[in-house]
Amino acid sequence: QAGLTQPPSVSKGLRQTATLTCTGNSNIVGNQGAAWLQQHQGHPPKLLSYRNNNRPSGISERFSASRSGNTASLTITGLQPDDEADYYCSAWDSSLSAWVFGGGTKLTVL
C-alpha cells in the first residue's frame, strides 16, 4: 500500500523551531494536503491540523502546517518540553480509496 514518508527522528533545542516533513505522491498530499497528529507515549493521538493548516479548537498557534507540491510540513515554534512526542501525518489516497499514515517522526526537545 502506498504511503507517506517521514524522517524517523528530529532533535531540536528548547525554544527553537522544528519543521517536520511528510512526502507522498500527487494522489495523496498533492490532493487535499495532510493532517498532522501528535502522540505522547501511552496516549491516543491528538489532531493538530487538518487539510494543511486548519487547527482544531484549543490547538496552539505554535503549530502550523503547510504544503508545497507533494510535501506537507508541520512547523512547531518555541519548542517546549511537552512537545517531545511522536508526530504523524495522514492523508487520503484517492488512488487506493484509503487513508494512509506516515511512519511517524519522534521529536526530541533537548
Partner 1 sequence: EVQLVESGGGLVQPGGSLRLSCAASGFTFSSYWMHWVRQAPGKGLVWVSRINSDGSSTNYADSVKGRFTISRDNAKNTLYLQMNSLRAEDTAVYYCAAAFDIWGQGTMVTVSS
Binding positions for partner 1, rule: CB under 8 A: 1, 35, 37, 39, 44-47, 50, 56, 86, 88, 90, 96-104
Q: How far is the CB of 13 from partner 1 (least distance, A)?
A: 25
Q: How far is the CB of 74 from partner 1 (least distance, A)?
A: 14
**Grid coordinates standing for 7?**
524522517
Residue closer to partner 1 by CB (options 37, 72) is 37
Residue closer to partner 1 by CB (options 33, 104) is 104
Q: How far is the CB of 14 from partner 1 (least distance, A)?
A: 26
Residue closer to partner 1 by CB (options 29, 35) is 35
Tell me whether strands 85-93 and 35-39 are parallel, antiparallel or unpaired: antiparallel
The three-state secondary structure class of 5 is strand
Q: How far is the CB of 68 from partner 1 (least distance, A)?
A: 22
Instruction: Judge whether 7 and 103 are in contact, CB under 8 Å.
Output: no
**Grid coordinates standing for 103?**
511512519
Residue closer to partner 1 by CB (options 79, 91) is 91
Q: Cβ-count burial of 86 within 10 angstroms (0-12 exposed, 13-18 middle, 19+ buried)?
A: middle
Distance CA 62, CA 110 (A): 18
